[in-house]
Structure 1
Amino acid sequence: MNRHLLLTTDGSPYTHKATSYLATVFSGRQDVEITVLSVAKAPPSYLLRPIPGLSEIEREERLEKFQAEELKKAQHHVSEAVEQLKRKGFDEKKLHTKVSVQYGDVANTILHEAREGHFDAVVAGRRGLGRLSSAWLGSVTQKMVEYGRNVPVWVIDGEGWNKRFLVAVDLGEPGMKVLDHVIFMLAPDPEVEVEILYVLTTLFPREKEQALEDIQKILTKEEEKEAAEFFAEAQKMFAAENFKGKVRVKIKSSPLGVAASILKEAREENFATVVVGRRGRGGFKGLLLGSVSSKVLFNLNDRAIWVVG
């Protein structure tokens, strides 16, 4: 089964980072298709109604000119991104293009295309994801992350990519959704390395690391029944899909908090990609933008971040 990604582009340098990231993560993969999407800007409202001192014919001419120019720009952005992907080794037959006209919010336009096209993830640059709240709240990427329920959104920044993935999980359904997405996207690649990180907040820091098939034994000894059941099910999921890469589990008890533990682990262990859930429970209680996931997005600005759920 092919994996189909929707790569958004506005012609910014972040698109080049996204194409470089995809080329590294999916190098040699023949089961990955990419549709490059650019959204043509909607005409300003004043061109959609009669303008004093301007004939209806002149208004329509201005409207048509604006629409034609914006469509041309969007098509150029798409063609440019496709050429970048081809230069990085992607098969032209696996690359597709789409230009949409903005209707309402740009983020909603992209999410609509993602849902209608049944894409496995939306790939976007970090443009606008800064520390200033105004930049954060005004970002198309942020809006997709926040409102794209059940649409995985990959936020790309940084450089020096690798195939090491830090997958931060909560117990229960949110964590299972995260693992399901990771397994589906990465299962055929024997070069990937996945660390599943589960963080417990406590006053006493400690850490345990084991192979996935052994982690349940340790958890059972510690009477972590729910966690033991979760990782037992996770092992079945990886085995069912014949996951070819390396998988390990790390359980950390830390007074630093969940987000800080994720950031520390990503930097110290050189994970180029961090995967988090959009919502959570249990050890990630209240995981929602504005909490753990937003802290990761704000502070980890030199990595790729997958937001799932």
Structure 2
Amino acid sequence: MPVKKKILLAVDDSVHSKQAVQYAVRMSSFVSELSYTLFNVQPAISQFLTDEAKTSLKAKFALEKTRKKRKENAEHLLADYKSQMIRMGIDEKRIETKTLSQKTGIAKDILEYAQEGLWDAIVVGRRGLSRAQEIFMGSLTSTLAEHSKLIPLWIIDGEISSEKIMIAIDGSQSSLRAVDHFSFIASQNPNIKATLLHVVPGLRDVCEIDIEDRDGDIEDIFVQGDKKCVDRFLVHAYQKFKEAGIRDDQIEIREIKALRNVGKAIAEEAEKEDYGTLIIGRRGNSKAFFMGSVSKYVLDKSADRAVWLVP
């Protein structure tokens, strides 16, 4: 019997949220028993107005009016998204809506609500800041990516047409959780296909000290060790696929060598082969894997595709 899955669609009135909703609807074509919760965090109300309302009747009325208006706007927004999803073929019974006033911050409020409800994934559109602006200013997307440590985060960038799926693996527990998440989401689908991409790293990717005088024997030993690690990993990965009802012939394995760095190799492969969805573990064998040389690079360079970050 198919297992029910539920995703939390964190939305606002931006084009990025519209693209996230479109992607989430498309997922219903290969994810059985998928339900949605459209979730909106209302903008924060001025602390000045909140403080004034404690002593001023006029300010109190203004505060209540503001709260009512923001709730109405949020409910109207969610109703519009729900209608759009129904027109796209989603059963109304599979869509819920929820809006809350902002408490501590939009990203934290989304994470807290998702954790309380035990959603299987949070889906969010990448906000309009450029990559350079995100570095200096931060964004909702980057904050969610930094702090979502329990629930997988699906970050949708642009309009995605490709149905091809890549899972980046490195033999780590984190990449095994990425495989597990995909297996759960895609379970019992006889038509879904995915590529496991293993990028063989060089010594520079595992050693913080630049090795000028590289020894060929050391490099060979390292590569052999990496191969053994990934071979052991694949045994566990295929077991998860089997338990999810995914056949061996639905999975392709690709291996490439990192010419410069692992993150760049993954991003370039995704671009070259036109993968619409890229699934990657939040942290790999290297301590700097996430928000460092690999996952952060992949997220920064993945335009017009979905990146699933799995903790």
Aligned length, in residue pairs? 289
Structure 2: gaps of 5 or more residues: 204-222
Distance 2:56 2:186 in 1: 55
Match of 1:265 among 265, 269, 272: 269
DSSP 3-state at the match of 1:224: helix
Query: 8 Å contact 1:128–1:135 — kept in the other structure?
Result: no
**Aligned match of 2:8:** 6
C-alpha offsets along residues 35-78 of structure 1, whole Å, 9 cap, x if unaligned?
A: 00011122110012138xx9611010111111111111111221
Match of 1:40 among 39, 42, 54: 42
**Aligned match of 2:174:** 174
**Aligned match of 2:110:** 110
Identity %: 29
- Answering whether residue 239 of structure 2 is matched by residue 226 of structure 1, we say no
C-alpha offsets along residues 9-31 of structure 1, whole Å, 9 cap, x if unaligned?
A: 11111122112212222226540
Structure 1: gaps of 5 or more residues: 204-219
Query: 8 Å contact 2:159–2:304 — kept in the other structure?
Result: yes
Matches within 5 A, 1:1-309: 1-27=3-29, 29-50=31-52, 56-134=56-134, 137-202=137-202, 224-243=227-246, 246-281=250-285, 284=286, 286-309=288-311
Return closer, same or farther for 1:82/1:104 CA change in 2, 3 Å cut-off.
same
DSSP 3-state at the match of 1:49: helix
Query: 8 Å contact 2:16–2:158 — kept in the other structure?
Result: no
Distance 1:272 1:35 in 2: 23
Distance 1:137 1:239 in 2: 44
Query: 8 Å contact 1:5–1:34 — kept in the other structure?
Result: yes
Distance 1:225 1:139 in 2: 39
What is the TM-score when the length of structure 1 is the normalising length?
0.87
**Aligned match of 2:210:** none
Query: 8 Å contact 1:75–1:99 — kept in the other structure?
Result: yes
What is the TM-score when the length of structure 2 is the normalising length?
0.86
Amino acid at match of 1:259: G
Query: 8 Å contact 1:23–1:85 — kept in the other structure?
Result: yes
Query: 8 Å contact 1:192–1:246 — kept in the other structure?
Result: yes
Q: Cα distance, 1:158 vs. partner?
A: 2.4
Amino acid at match of 2:192: V
DSSP 3-state at the match of 1:35: strand
Single out whichever of 41-50 and 99-108 deviates more from structure 2.
41-50
Amino acid at match of 1:23: V
Query: 8 Å contact 1:25–1:163 — kept in the other structure?
Result: no
Report the aligned-residue RMSD: 2.2
